[in-house]
Amino acid sequence: MKKGISFFIKIFLELVVKRMVKEIEGEENIPRNANFIIAANHINSWDHFLIVLALKNRIKTIYFVAKEFKNFWQLIILRGFYFLTETIFINKKEDRESLLTKLANYLNKDKIIVIYPEGTTNKGNELLQGKTGVVELAIKSGKPVIPFGILHKKNSKKKILRIGKPLYFTIEKEIPEEIKNNRENYYLFLRKNTDKVMREISKLSGKPYNYGD
């Protein structure tokens, strides 16, 4: 995140975002001297600020991953903001391995990567099936995944942010050959571990996850 915008976001967090939050639970689960991947459910655009609020002392190291905009007004209005916050956009023309390598390089430079595994905003009562990218990145980088659950109760105007314990996954070079070299087995391996992340998000967000075991 660029230096100038991080200063203004800190002010915005104190004056506006704090008023929207009822409580933040599980802050002790955030590694203090290490970098990691955040996996959170995604209700709306305010989620970005809630996550940054929990990590306000490390604001300059936070990078969000987002899909490229298609809507014209999103391009006009939001593109400048995302440029200043140095959001990492997923380019569909870029191959998956290159994207994962790029994100892993950020993590290796002591950055924090935020991913919404549902792949889109979801205001429904149930979580969508998680995309496997978050686990693929954890495997490639060797960094833990910290599950975040954002809960917005109907009878309250304020949100609750719950932070779970770090989840660790087998690093790429230690995955058995019979899994790594078989496309179907490898997908099942990724799917099983992705569902594990999503079930943790489910517990934290209070939204059921009706996939996997």
pLDDT at 40: 97
pLDDT at 75: 56
pLDDT at 6: 75
Cα–Cα distances (Å) from 118 to 115, 122, 126, 197, in that order, read 9, 8, 11, 11
Q: Note whether 209 and 202 are within 8 A (CB).
A: yes
Q: Within 13 Å and on the Cβ side, how many CA atoms surround 117?
A: 35
Q: Is 4 exposed, middle or buried (0-12, 13-18, 19+ CB in 10 A)?
A: exposed
Q: Note whether 21 and 159 are within 8 A (CB).
A: yes
pLDDT at 4: 62
**Taking Cα atoms as reference points, which of 19, 29, 1 lies closest to residue 200?**
29
pLDDT at 161: 94
Q: How far apart are alpha carbons 200 and 141 in whole angstroms?
A: 21
Q: Where are the beta strands (DSSP E) in 98-184?
A: 112-115, 145-152, 159-163
pLDDT at 74: 56
Task: Tell me the pTM.
Answer: 0.90
Greatest distance between any 2 Cα atoms in the chain: 54
pLDDT at 17: 87
* pLDDT tens, per residue, the chain with 213 residues: 666 677 778 888 888 888 888 899 999 999 988 899 999 999 988 899 899 999 988 888 999 988 766 665 555 555 666 666 777 877 767 788 888 999 999 999 999 999 999 998 999 999 999 999 999 999 999 999 999 999 987 667 788 999 999 999 998 889 999 998 999 999 999 999 999 999 999 999 999 999 987
What DSSP assignment string belongs to 34-52? S--EEEE---STHHHHHHH
- Structural tokens at position 40: 């959170």
